[in-house]
Amino acid sequence: MSELIAEIKKLSEDYFHEVLKIRRHIHAHPELSFKEFNTASFIENKLRAFGISGVERIAKTGVTFCLKGKEPGNVIALRADIDALPVLEENKVAYKSKNEGVMHACGHDVHTSSLLGAAKILSQLTGHFKGTIKFIFQPGEEKSPGGASRLIKEGILQNPAPNTILGQHVMPLIPEGKVGFRKGKYMASADEIYLTVKGKGGHAAMPEHFIDPIAIAGQTIVALQQIVSRMANPKIPSVLSFGKITGGSVNNVIPDEVKIEGTFRTFDEEWRKSALQSIKDVSRSVAGAMRAQCEVEIAPGYPYLVNDEAYTERNMLAAKEYMGKENVLEIDLWMAAEDFAFYTHEIPGCFYRLGTGNEEKGITSGVHTPTFNIDEKALKTGMGLLAYLAISELQQH
């Protein structure tokens, strides 16, 4: 394996400047979820330039193809997401977003360029593995119902059916040159909560004649917090947060209604179902007790993400071979959500973190911020490690 590692690292070095240009192009031309038409075309053209055939579209803006090894065998899938966020970029770089108000603030440009680099590397190394590697460039990770769920419905996990699926995601909290893994449950489910408290508006000086939805909204938010603090099993991480409340237009008028928006996140599907029902019940009961009504809309989001223990263990061992054990970290639960979770409820999956931070260079901004950026040396690890993990898994199985 040492010769293979040396060869992959050499190819990663050789292709680095090309993949760097790819990343910067994608970063400068971001597209929102399910609208990634130019990005998909760019990916297709690059793959064809690499000499890769059989490239196909799926779900309009998704791109997929397979690389076959020297003999038939197992199938492994490698996935990257390609969409951007509605964020106004503040970085002062030459490759700053040219689409104002749209930015690759979550690193999907890194995921896409790394997977393109891995494809080019692996296309040179088909004699080193048996089986098939399926590449998935997935749209719409950032927007529910998630591109993963759409691709699954359209058959991405069939013909050929992957035995496992692997994905990586940038992590600015981890220094460039290191990666992070977690076995078992890793990322939370996420559902969107929309409440509309309906009262009766009027002059604020005569509250006895009206039904104040602002006061009721406050009581509702306080009451709902007890779902996590008193109804949840403390062994199951849970978060219920409200990030938006709107209502009223002037200080001395009670409005007719108040809108509240929030999110619920957890790591257990049965508790998730129960908690969402409790959110409905508590919201309606609090409003009803104060002569108001509360309309509740819950937009189902992504399930929790679970990394298959055995598959993740194999990837951790392979990563230590490729990078050195001191550069492979074990990381904690993460309450954010990812639609890669859909894949992990279908087949064994592993979703790991690619270190992209560099304090000395001032590269510390978190994802989803207007100043997010990466130490671009991480692209070498991004493409090289993906390639090695794929070959290592197929050689073992």
DSSP, residue by residue, 18-41: HHHHHHHHHHHS--BTT--HHHHH
pLDDT tier at 155, thresholds 50, 70, 90: very high
Judgement on whether residues 78 and 165 belong to the same structural domain of the protein = yes
CATH number of the domain within which 297 lies: 3.30.70.360
pLDDT of residue 397: 77
Looking at 302, 334, 364, the residue that finishes a domain is 302
pLDDT of residue 184: 98
Judgement on whether residues 322 and 295 belong to the same structural domain of the protein = no
Looking at 302, 319, 342, the residue that finishes a domain is 302
β-strands 349-357, 179-181 pairing: antiparallel
Q: What is the pLDDT of residues 8-17, one digit of tens each?
A: 999 999 999 9
pLDDT of residue 396: 85
pLDDT of residue 317: 98
Mean pLDDT of the chain: 97
The domain total for the chain is 2
Task: Evaluate if residue 175 carries a pLDDT over 80.
Answer: yes
- Omega cis (within 30) before 30: no
Percent of the chain with pLDDT over 70: 100
Residues linked to residue 308 through DSSP beta bridges, in sequence order: none
* 3-class secondary-structure state, position 249: coil
Task: Evaluate if residue 100 carries a pLDDT over 80.
Answer: yes
Judgement on whether residues 152 and 273 belong to the same structural domain of the protein = no
One-letter amino acid identity for 323? M
Looking at 262, 285, 302, the residue that finishes a domain is 302
Place of tokens 């080193």: 128
pLDDT of residue 307: 98
Q: Which residues have C-beta within 8 Å of that of residue 302, sequence separation ≥ 6?
A: 144, 146, 189, 190, 337, 338, 339, 341, 342
pLDDT of residue 1: 74
Q: Which residues have C-beta within 8 Å of that of residue 62, sequence separation ≥ 6?
A: 40, 136, 137, 138, 139, 147, 150, 151, 156
pTM of this structure? 0.95
CATH number of the domain within which 319 lies: 3.40.630.10
63 contacts 69 by C-beta, under 8 angstroms: no
Judgement on whether residues 317 and 381 belong to the same structural domain of the protein = yes
Judgement on whether residues 181 and 68 belong to the same structural domain of the protein = yes
The whole-angstrom separation of Cα 24 and Cα 26 is 5
Task: Evaluate if residue 248 carries a pLDDT over 80.
Answer: yes
Phi-psi region of 34 (alpha: psi -120 to 50; beta: other; left: phi over 0): left
pLDDT of residue 17: 98
Q: Which of 316, 225, 327, 238 is nearest to 279 (CA)?
A: 225
Quote the domain boundaries for residue 214.
190-302
